[in-house]
Amino acid sequence: MSPAFNLQTCARLNILALEPYRCARDDYKDDGTNVLLDANENAYGPPIGSGSSSDTIAAEAKETGLDLLGLHRYPDPHQVDLKQQLCTLRNTHAHTDKTLTPENLFVGVGSDEAIDALLRCFCVPGRDRILVCPPTYGMYSVSAQVNDLGLVKVPLTPAPEFGVDVPAVLEALSASVEASDYDIKVVYLCSPGNPTGSALKKEDIAAVLGHPKWNGIVVVDEAYVDFVADQRTASLAEWVLEWPNLVVMQTLSKAFGMAGIRLGAAFCAPPVAALLNALKAPYNIASPTSALARNVLGAEGLAAMEANRAKLVAQRERLVAALPQIPGVGRLRGGTDSNFLLYEMLNKAGEPDNATALAVYTKLAEQRGVVVRFRGKEHGCLGCLRITVGTEDEVTRFLEALKTTLAEVRV
């Protein structure tokens, strides 16, 4: 429990007073028999399934849980069933005896909607700031700029650990408490980090959450949490039941392979979730998105995800073994808790070098059709490329292309 957290003084006053948009179906949910004349929908439905092969498409889609013939109705604004599946997935009781419920959840259009919603909920434009720990996910800073918020950067500890610099973060928060002209309202921590691939220590996150005087929100972005070895303890989602100032974000884009549906979740204390749900758009999760998400969170979907995850982990281990054998590949900078790796590219003198890394990045993409990510300009990532783990064939092609490209670049 945070000794200083007070939702009533942390959240923006206009958000605390916000009356969420309501529709008639908040009061009278459709049970399949009602005549729905409340939302100005097209009663005849979408122009799908009225002839030729579209009938087959609609029928096949419905078998997988995607009812294209229901698209003329607005989606469920509350997504209780989907939220329950997400809670069931994360209720491991590794961090608390309490149990997550749908009241602990906000679901949005990817994690990016949650990132932005948290800033709109807690930060006053033109005055407040957020704290980030580079190298980290770039959308925290982008969203801060969009919302006219200041940015405080406290770098992670040096590679290869890339951990939270707890004393420096606490010092920045203490300075915020003493300041008269600004507040740090939100801290974003990425675990496992992007681009570091390193999971943060639970005790370091607890130290930030427990600051004795700071009144703000700590957000732990767990986009890659399903690639951490110990799946029972990896996620801190259920820890929001112990820390009212903790928000844990997750996504179906990574381990679940559903990046195209844009589904993210934010686990938090019910009062925080209520504020986020009050300020969201009325029907922010599309019906096809919800149906596909519920499908992959079912028993068969989870089994398939776990099988694919095992394949990716095997290829990750293959990369860790093979990359150091290639002349010109330097150190692994970061961890192996995600579906990507961060490696140095070395120049002829054997030093990590941005010019070399950028040349390798460009040649791989333009001459050999293999696209990775240049991260050399990020804090502590000199000369680094971030390499996503692919299929067995993709990894084979990448390793061959990298060996050839490095030999050309380092002549």
Domain locations in the chain? 7-31+74-297, 42-73, 302-409
Tell me the C-alpha to C-alpha distance, in Å, between residue 78 and each of 57, 170, 235, 283: 28, 37, 24, 8
Nearest alpha-carbon partner for 69 in 57, 53, 60, 58: 58
Residues contacting 224, CB < 8 A, separation 6+:
192, 194, 197, 254, 255, 337, 338, 339
Structure tokens at 142: 């982008």
Residues 196, 162 contacting (CB under 8 angstroms): yes
The model carries a pTM of: 0.91
Alpha-carbon gap, residue 19 to 275, rounded angstroms: 10
Backbone phi, psi, residue 338, to 5°: -140, -170
Question: In b/e form, how buried is each residue of 294-308, taking b as 16+ CB within 10 angstroms?
Answer: bebbeeebeeebeee
CATH topology for 7-31+74-297 is Aspartate Aminotransferase; domain 2 (3.40.640)
* pLDDT at position 51: 47
CATH for 302-409 (3.40.710.10, 3.20.20.140, 3.90.1150.10, 3.40.50.300) = 3.90.1150.10
The rounded mean pLDDT for the chain is 91
| Helix or strand (DSSP H, E) at 250 | strand 246-251
pLDDT of residue 331: 97
- State the CB neighbour count (10 A cutoff) for residue 141: 17
pLDDT tens digits for the chain (411 residues)?
A: 778 899 999 989 888 898 877 776 676 666 667 766 556 666 666 666 544 444 555 555 556 555 665 788 889 899 999 999 999 999 999 999 999 999 999 999 999 999 999 999 999 999 999 999 999 999 999 999 999 999 999 999 999 999 999 999 999 999 999 988 889 999 999 999 999 999 999 999 999 999 999 999 999 999 999 999 999 999 999 999 999 999 999 999 999 999 999 999 999 999 999 999 999 998 999 999 999 999 999 999 999 999 999 999 999 999 999 999 999 999 999 999 999 999 999 999 999 999 999 999 999 999 999 999 999 999 999 999 999 999 999 999 999 999 999 999 987
Q: Of 199, 133, 208, 188, which is closest to residue 161 (Cα–Cα)?
A: 199
204: how many CB neighbours lie within 10 A of its CB? Answer: 17
Provide the pLDDT for residue 30.
64
